[in-house]
Amino acid sequence: MGNMKQKKKFYKLSGQSIIEFALVFPILLLLIFGAMDIGRLFYYKIVLTNAAREGANYLAYHTDPELNPNNNKYTTELASTYEVIEAEGENFNIDIIVEGENKEVDILLGDCTSSTKCLSGEQIGIKITKEIGLVLGGILQSFGLVSGPITVSSIIYMVVI
C-alpha cells in the first residue's frame, strides 16, 4: 500500500520538473548566447587592436623621411602596411577589409599630409572599424536595445622613428 502512494508522488513530481525545465530553459539559452556575444565582442576588439598596433608599428618604422601623398614610395609603404594589417587579422580568422568601398582601415598621418616630410617624432595612427552581427541581435532589436550590428573600433598611434 505504501508503495502505491510513493509511485503516485513520483509521477506528479516528474511532470513538475518538465514544466520547470520548460520555463527555465529559454532564460538559460539567453544567458549562454549573451555570454557568447560578449565574448565575441571582446575577441574582435583584441584582434582589431593587435592589427592596428602591427600596422602602426610597421608604418612608424618604415616611413620614408620624404613620405607624402604625391610620390610612389608613399603608396608602396601604405600597401605594405595594409598587408601587415590583413595578415594579422587572418592569423585570428577575421577578415579586415583594407581597400574598396567598404574598407575598414583608415591611416591617420597627422602632420605628414600637410608637409612634405614625415619627421621623426610625429605621430602616425591606424584606425580599424568593424561591424559585428550578434547572435541575439534580432531579440535585442525587438526590445529596442540595439539598432543593428555593433560597431567595434580601435585606434593606435605610434611615433615615427
| Positive or negative: CA dihedral 30, 31, 36, 41 | positive
Average pLDDT for residues 96-104, to the nearest whole number? 90
Greater confidence (69 vs 81) lies with: 81
Query: Does the pLDDT value for residue 76 go beyond 80?
Result: no
For position 130, what pLDDT does the model report? 96
Task: Answer yes or no: is pLDDT of 115 > 60.
Answer: no
For residues 93 and 107, the model is more confident at 93
The per-residue pLDDT of the chain, averaged, comes to 84
Given this model, what pLDDT does residue 116 score?
Answer: 53
Range in 1-5, 70-74, 140-144 with the lowest mean pLDDT: 70-74
Q: pTM of the entire structure?
A: 0.79
Is the per-residue pLDDT at 38 higher than 60? yes
pLDDT of residue 94: 95
Does residue 4 register a pLDDT over 70? Answer: no
pLDDT for 48: 97
Residue 143 has pLDDT above 80, yes or no: yes
